[in-house]
C-alpha cells in the first residue's frame, strides 16, 4: 500500500522540513529552559560537593555560610578537631566582590581556603595548586582569567596559578580561590583612605588617645586592623563516623551550628535558590504549554491546508483510517524532526550560556515522549476536522 | 517499485543518521560524556624546595630615647633622617629647678667645708689644753711625793688632765662628723648634677633618627620616647612563614627578597635568625632574613616577599603537584587504564613552589598520571585524554 503520509511529505517536503525546524527551535528553547532550571539546582549541589566536606560548622543560630552571614573565630577548628569522629578541618571564607579585569569588572566569589584542607578545589583544568602562602590564586574558567595573569584584589596583586571549572556560588558567580590569610585581609582590611580615616577617628577618641598612656592608641589601632574570623569551618569525618552524632556533639558542646550535607542541601535548594528555581520552573511550565499549543495549531492548519486533497481522497473512496493514519504519521514525523532539531540546538548552544545549563538525558527522553504525545493529541483535532470534510469540496464545492 | 525502495532506503538512512546524531550528542556533550583529562609522566631530575613568606623591613637594633622621669621637653635638636654620633646631644628636657639645686648643693658643700675647718681648730685647741693639763698633773704628782703639795691639790690637777683629754676626744669626734657632713654634701651635689645631666638626651649609638615623636613643650611620662634612633646597618626582614611550611628553615640558608616598592627585582639575602617563639595565633614562624647588600632607599615597615631555599634534591622522581589527590586520607594519583582511571596511593616528598611534587614511593619514572580533569574523578570514571582542557588565549 502506498504510504500517503510519505507521499504528501515528499510532495511539499520543503514546507514540512521548515515547519519541523521552526518547531525544533521551540522545543530547543523548552529543553534549554529545563537545562537552566537543572543547572541552577546543580550549581547549589556542586557548591556543596566541591569543598569535599562532610560537616559545615558555622556561627550559632545562622544558616551560614551560603544563605546567611556567619562568623566563626579562626582558631575554633582546633577545638573541633578534638571532637570524636572529626578527621580534618579547614577554615573557609566567602566574599562576593568585583575584580578588575581588562578594563571591566568581573563579579566573583572570593574563597579563602587552606591548601591541603577541606575547602580547596578538588580538581584543576590547568595550572598547579597554590604553593605559596600568599598572593596566589586559582580561578574558575568562567572568570575569563588566564594562567599567569596578575589580578588585583583590593591592595595586592595575585598571580593566577591554576584554573578550575564548575566552581560557582549559589548565585552562579565564578569563584576565585586565594590563601586564607589573604582572604581574611581582603574581607577586613579596607582601602588606604578608609584606613587612614579610621586611624584619625580612633585618634580623635579621647578614650583611646590618653596623654598619660603612651602606646594605647597604637595598640587599639593594631587591634582594629587585624581579622581573626572565618565564615565556615569545613570538617571531613573519619570513615565510620555518624555525621548526625558529630553534628549534635558540636552543637551541644562547642556552641556552634553544624550542618550535615543533607541539611546543607535543604538550606541551599529549599531556601536559598527556591524562589528563583520556582520562577524558572513556572516559566518552563508556561513555555511547555505554549509550545504544545503552537504544535497543535501548526498541525491543525497543515491539515486544513489539505482539505481539497482529503476531499479527493474521500471521493475516490479512501477509508477514514487511511486518512487519519496519514495525518497522525505526519504529526509524529513533525514531532520527531522537532525533537531532533531541538535536542541538537539545545546541546550546541548550552555551553554559550553564562550560567551552567545541565541537559539531563532523562529530561531529553521525557521531552521526546511529551513532544510525540502532544503531536498525537494535536493530530486528533486535525483528524476530526479532516473526517468532517465534505467530498464535494473536491469538485469545486 | 524502484522509486519506493529508494525512498525506503533514504528513510532508513535518515533514521540511522538521526540516531547517530542523537547518540553522539548524548555521549559527547552531556553529562554522559567521558571526562576530559590531561596526562603527564613521572620525571626524574633535580628539585629545589623553597618556602615563601611575607614580612616587613625592620631594624634589628632600634633605640627609643626618652627620660627616666616625667618632664617637659625643652628642645629637640635633630629631625627624622639625621645621622647622629654616639654621645651627640639629641634633645633636652626642661630641668626646672635642677640647676638651682646644684648651686644649693654646692653652697651646702662649701658650708660643710667651713664647719670642718672650725672643728679642726677646736680639736687643735683641745689637744693643746690637754698637753698643758697633763704636764701640770705630772708635776703635781712629783711635788706630792716630796710632800710639797697637799693630796687634794694633786688630785685636782689629775682631774684637770683627764677632763682635758676627754674634751680633746670630743673635738676629734666633732671633726669626724663635720667631715662626713662635707662628704655627704659633696655626694648630694654630685647626685643632683647627674640628675641635671639626665635632662640631656644623647645618642647611644652611631645611627639615624627614624622618628621624632614629640615636639618641644610636650610633657611626657617616664619611659616615653622622644626620639627613635636606628642603626641602619642592622636593617633586616622579619618574615612570617606559615608553620606548615617552616619545617626546613635554618640559619644560613640563601633567600630571595622582593621589595614591594621594587617588585621587579630580587635581592639576595640569608636567614640570620629563626625565632624560638612562633606566633601561636596566626600559626606562623618568625624568620629574620638579612640583606647581602642593603638596597638604597629602603624604608622600615615596607612589605617584602621572602623566598627561602630550604633543600636541594639532586635526582628524584616528580609529578606536577596538580596530579596529587587525597582519597580517604590517602595521598595518591589517578592513572589512566583502558579509558578509565584507577587510584594509585603514593608517598609524597617535598613540593616546590613552581608546583612539582616529589614522589618518594609508589610510582616509577615514566609512569603516566592524570594531571588535570574537568570534574572530580572517582574510581572507574570514564575519561578521554586530551592535550589541554582549556585553550590558552594568545
pLDDT digits (tens, 9 = 90+) for A112-131: 999 888 888 888 999 999 99
SS3 content of chain A, % helix, strand, coil (to 5): 55, 20, 30
Alpha carbon A191 to chain centroid distance?
33
Determine the residue among A9, A16, A125, A138 to mutate to test chain B binding: the one whose Cβ has the most chain B Cβ atoms within 10 Å: A125
- What residues contact A53, with CB distance under 8 A and at least 6 apart? A90, A118, A119, A234, A235, A236, A261
- Residue reference for cell 544558616: A63
- Residue reference for cell 589541554: B388
CB of A140 closer than 8 Å to CB of A175:
yes
Q: DSSP E strands: which ranges in chain A?
A: 55-58, 72-73, 86-101, 104-113, 126-127, 136-140, 150-153, 156-164, 175-179, 229-230, 232-237, 257-260
What is the Cα–Cα distance from A9 to A197, expressed in whole angstroms?
78
B26 touching A, CB under 8 A?
yes
Dihedral sign computed on CA atoms, order A63, A64, A67, A68: positive
In this structure, chain B runs to a length of 394
Sort residue B380 into left (φ over 0), alpha (ψ -120 to 50) or beta.
left
Cα angle B97-B99-B105, degrees, rounded to a multiple of 5 = 100
Q: Which one is predicted more confidently, B369 or A213?
A: B369
pLDDT at B1 over 60: no
B281 touching A, CB under 8 A?
yes
- What residues contact A331, with CB distance under 8 A and at least 6 apart? A299, A375, A376, A378, A379, A382
A228 touching B, CB under 8 A?
yes
Provide the pLDDT for residue B131.
Answer: 94
pLDDT at B86 over 70: yes
- Nearest by CB: A239 against B320, B328, B371: B328
What is the Cα–Cα distance from A101 to A143, expressed in whole angstroms?
9
B29 touching A, CB under 8 A?
yes
CB of A32 closer than 8 Å to CB of A343:
no
Provide the pLDDT for residue A194.
Answer: 79
Q: Name the minimum distance, in Å, from the CA of A271 to any CA of chain B.
A: 26
Nearest CA in chain A to B260: A156
pLDDT at B239 over 90: yes
Nearest CA in chain A to B308: A132
Provide the pLDDT for residue A227.
Answer: 73
C-alpha cell read off for A342: 531541538
Lowest mean pLDDT among A76-90, A308-322, B195-209, B313-327: A308-322
Q: Which one is predicted more confidently, B367 or B30?
A: B367
Across the A/B interface, how many CB contacts are shorter than 8 Å?
109
3-state secondary structure of B319: strand
SS3 content of chain B, % helix, strand, coil (to 5): 35, 40, 30
Q: Which positions 30-49 of B are in contact with A (Cβ < 8 Å)? A: 30-32
**pLDDT tens digit sequence for A311-341:** 888 888 888 888 888 888 888 888 888 888 9
Beta-bridge partners for B62 = B230
- Contacts for B243-248: CB closer than 8 Å, 24+ residues apart: B243/B278, B243/B283, B243/B284, B243/B285, B244/A116, B244/B283, B245/A133, B245/B51, B245/B52, B245/B53, B246/B51, B246/B53, B246/B278, B246/B284, B246/B285, B246/B287, B247/B310, B248/B49, B248/B51, B248/B310, B248/B311
Provide the pLDDT for residue B290.
Answer: 94
Q: Please report which confidence band the pLDDT of residue B7 belongs to, taking 50, 70 and 90 as the band edges.
A: low
Provide the pLDDT for residue A397.
Answer: 52
Which of A306, A289, A345, A292 minimizes the C-alpha distance to A16? Answer: A306
Q: Which residues of B touch A361 (CB under 8 A)?
A: 26, 30-32
Backbone angles phi, psi at A11, to 5 degrees: -65, -40
Q: Which residues of B touch A123 (CB under 8 A)?
A: 325, 372-377
3-state secondary structure of A308: helix
What is the Cα–Cα distance from B123 to B320, expressed in whole angstroms?
102
pLDDT at B3 over 50: no
Lowest mean pLDDT among A362-366, B54-58, B256-260: A362-366
Q: Which residues of B touch A348 (CB under 8 A)?
A: 29
**pLDDT tens digit sequence for B211-227:** 999 999 998 888 889 99
Mean pLDDT, chain B, rounded, equals 89
CB of A135 closer than 8 Å to CB of A158:
yes
Q: Name the minimum distance, in Å, from the CA of A123 to any CA of chain B.
A: 6
CB of B375 closer than 8 Å to CB of B383:
no
Provide the pLDDT for residue B190.
Answer: 94
- Nearest by CB: A122 against B52, B223, B376: B376
Report the percentage of chain B scoring pLDDT > 90.
Answer: 57
Q: Which positions 259-318 of A are in contact with B (Cβ < 8 Å)? A: none
Provide the pLDDT for residue B79.
Answer: 94
Nearest CA in chain A to B29: A347
Sort residue B41 into left (φ over 0), alpha (ψ -120 to 50) or beta.
beta
CB-CB under 8 Å, A10 with B7: yes
Provide the pLDDT for residue B5.
Answer: 52
C-alpha cell read off for B100: 638651682
Q: Mark the ranges of chain A whose per-residue pLDDT is less than 70.
A: 1-6, 396-397
Q: Name the minimum distance, in Å, from the CA of B99 to any CA of chain A.
A: 27
pLDDT at B209 over 80: yes
Q: Please report which confidence band the pLDDT of residue B279 belongs to, taking 50, 70 and 90 as the band edges.
A: confident
pLDDT at B389 over 90: no
Q: Name the minimum distance, in Å, from the CA of A26 to any CA of chain B.
A: 18
pLDDT at B278 over 90: no
CB-CB under 8 Å, A10 with B30: no
Nearest CA in chain A to B356: A128
Q: Please report which confidence band the pLDDT of residue B30 belongs to, taking 50, 70 and 90 as the band edges.
A: low
| pTM metric for this prediction | 0.80
B375 touching A, CB under 8 A?
yes
**pLDDT tens digit sequence for B101-149:** 999 999 999 999 999 999 999 999 999 999 999 999 999 999 999 988 8
Give me the interface pTM, i.e. the ipTM.
0.76
* Tally of CB atoms within 10 A around B267: 20
Determine the residue among A1, A114, A131, A143 to mutate to test chain B binding: the one whose Cβ has the most chain B Cβ atoms within 10 Å: A131
Provide the pLDDT for residue B2.
Answer: 45
Provide the pLDDT for residue B294.
Answer: 87
Cα angle B381-A56-A172, degrees, rounded to a multiple of 5 = 65
Q: Name the minimum distance, in Å, from the CA of A14 to any CA of chain B.
A: 16
pLDDT at B29 over 80: no
pLDDT at B341 over 80: yes
Amino acid at each position: 500500500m502506498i504510504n500517503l503520509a510519505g507521499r504528501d511529505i515528499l510532495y511539499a517536503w520543503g514546507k514540512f522540513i521548515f515547519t519541523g525546524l521552526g518547531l525544533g527551535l521551540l522545543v530547543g528553547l523548552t529543553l534549554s529552559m529545563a537545562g537552566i532550571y537543572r543547572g541552577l539546582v546543580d550549581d547549589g549541589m556542586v557548591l556543596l560537593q566541591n569543598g569535599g566536606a562532610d560537616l559545615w560548622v558555622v556561627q550559632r543560630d545562622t544558616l551560614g555560610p551560603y544563605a546567611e552571614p556567619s562568623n566563626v573565630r579562626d582558631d575554633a577548628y582546633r577545638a573541633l578537631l578534638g571532637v570524636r569522629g572529626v578527621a580534618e578541618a579547614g577554615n573557609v571564607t566567602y566574599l562576593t566582590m568585583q575584580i578588575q579585569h581588562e578594563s571591566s569588572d568581573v563579579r566573583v566569589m572570593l574563597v579563602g581556603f587552606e591548601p591541603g584542607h577541606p575547602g580547596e578545589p578538588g580538581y584543576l583544568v590547568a595550572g598547579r595548586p597554590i604553593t605559596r602562602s600568599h598572593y596566589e590564586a586559582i580561578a574558575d574558567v568562567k572568570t575569563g582569567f588566564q594562567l599567569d595573569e596578575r589580578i588585583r584584589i583590593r591592595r595586592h596583586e595575585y598571580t593566577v596559578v591554576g584554573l578550575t571549572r564548575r566552581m560557582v556560588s549559589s548565585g552562579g558567580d565564578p569563584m576565585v580561590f586565594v590563601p586564607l590569610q589573604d582572604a581574611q585581609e581582603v574581607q577586613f582590611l579596607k582601602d588606604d583612605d578608609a584606613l587612614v580615616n579610621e586611624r584619625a577617628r580612633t585618634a580623635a577618641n579621647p578614650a583611646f588617645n590618653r596623654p598619660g598612656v603612651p602606646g594605647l592608641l597604637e595598640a587599639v589601632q593594631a587591634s582594629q586592623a587585624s581579622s581573626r574570623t572565618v565564615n565556615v569551618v569545613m570538617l571531613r569525618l573519619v570513615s565510620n563516623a555518624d555525621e548526625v552524632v558529630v553534628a549534635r556533639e558540636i552543637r551541644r558542646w562547642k556552641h556552634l551550628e553544624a550542618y550535615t550535607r543533607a541539611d546543607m542541601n535543604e538550606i541551599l535548594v529549599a531556601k536559598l535558590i527556591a524562589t528563583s528555581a520556582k520562577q524558572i520552573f513556572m516559566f518552563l511550565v508556561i513555555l511547555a504549554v505554549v509550545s504544545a499549543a503552537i504544535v497543535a495549531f501548526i498541525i491543525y492548519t497543515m491539515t486544513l491546508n489539505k482539505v481539497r486533497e482529503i476531499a479527493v481522497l474521500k471521493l475516490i473512496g479512501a477509508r477514514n483510517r487511511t486518512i487519519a493514519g496519514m495525518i497522525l504519521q505526519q504529526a509524529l514525523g513533525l514531532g520527531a524532526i522537532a525533537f531532533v532539531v531541538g535536542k541538537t540546538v539545545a546541546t550546541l548552544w548550552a555551553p554559550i550560556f553564562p550560567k551552567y545549563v545541565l541537559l539531563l538525558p532523562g529530561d531529553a527522553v521525557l521531552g521526546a515522549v511529551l513532544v510525540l504525545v502532544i503531536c498525537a493529541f494535536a493530530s486528533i483535532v486535525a483528524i476530526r476536522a479532516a473526517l468532517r470534510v465534505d467530498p464535494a469540496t473536491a469538485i469545486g464545492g | 517499485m524502484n522509486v519506493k525502495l529508494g525512498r525506503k532506503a533514504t528513510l532508513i538512512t535518515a533514521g540511522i543518521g538521526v540516531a547517530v546524531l542523537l547518540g553522539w550528542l548524548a555521549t559527547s556533550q552531556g553529562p554522559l560524556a567521558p571526562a576530559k583529562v590531561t596526562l603527564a609522566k613521572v620525571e626524574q631530575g633535580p628539585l629545589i624546595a623553597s618556602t615563601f613568606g611575607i614580612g616587613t623591613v625592620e631594624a634589628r637594633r632600634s633605640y627609643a630615647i626618652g627620660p627616666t622621669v616625667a618632664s617637659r621637653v625643652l628642645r629637640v635638636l635633630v629631625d627624622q633622617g639625621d645621622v647622629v654620633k654616639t654621645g651627640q646631644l639629641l634633645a633636652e628636657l626642661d630641668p626646672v629647678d635642677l640647676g638651682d639645686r646644684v648651686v644649693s648643693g654646692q653652697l651646702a658643700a662649701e658650708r660643710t667645708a667651713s664647719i670642718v675647718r672650725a672643728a679642726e681648730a677646736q680639736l687643735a685647741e683641745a689637744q693643746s689644753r690637754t698637753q698643758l693639763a697633763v704636764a701640770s698633773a705630772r708635776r703635781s704628782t712629783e711635788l706630792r711625793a716630796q710632800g710639797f703639795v697637799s693630796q687634794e691639790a694633786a688630785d685636782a690637777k689629775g682631774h684637770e688632765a683627764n677632763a682635758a683629754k676627754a674634751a680633746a676626744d670630743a673635738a676629734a669626734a666633732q671633726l669626724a662628723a663635720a667631715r662626713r657632713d662635707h662628704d655627704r654634701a659633696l655626694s648630694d651635689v654630685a647626685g643632683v648634677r647627674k640628675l641635671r645631666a639626665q635632662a640631656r638626651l644623647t645618642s647611644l649609638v652611631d645611627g639615624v633618627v627614624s622618628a621624632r615623636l614629640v615636639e618641644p613643650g610636650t610633657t611626657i611620662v617616664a619611659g616615653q620616647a622622644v626620639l627613635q634612633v636606628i642603626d641602619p646597618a642592622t636593617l633586616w626582614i622579619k618574615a612570617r612563614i606559615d608553620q606548615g611550611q617552616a619545617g626546613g628553615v635554618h640559619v644560613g640558608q640563601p633567600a630571595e627578597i622582593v621589595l614591594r616598592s621594587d617588585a621587579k627585582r630580587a635581592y639576595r639575602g640569608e636567614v640570620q635568625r629563626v625565632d624560638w617563639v612562633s606566633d601561636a595565633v596566626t600559626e606562623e614562624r618568625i624568620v629574620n632574613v638579612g640583606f647581602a647588600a642593603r638596597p638604597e632607599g629602603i624604608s622600615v615597615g615596607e612589605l617584602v616577599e621572602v623566598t627561602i631555599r630550604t633543600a636541594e634534591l639532586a635526582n628524584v622522581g616528580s609529578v606536577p603537584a596538580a596530579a596529587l589527590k587525597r582519597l580517604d586520607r590517602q595521598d595518591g594519583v589517578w592513572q589512566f587504564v583502558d579509558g578509565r582511571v584507577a587510584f594509585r596511593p603514593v608517598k609524597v616528598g617535598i613540593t616546590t613552589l613552581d608546583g612539582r611534587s616529589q614522589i618518594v614511593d609508589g610510582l616509577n619514572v615514566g609512569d603516566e598520571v592524570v594531571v588535570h580533569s574537568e570534574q572530580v574523578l572517582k574510581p572507574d570514571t570514564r575519561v578521554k585524554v586530551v592535550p589541554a582542557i582549556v585553550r590558552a588565549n594568545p
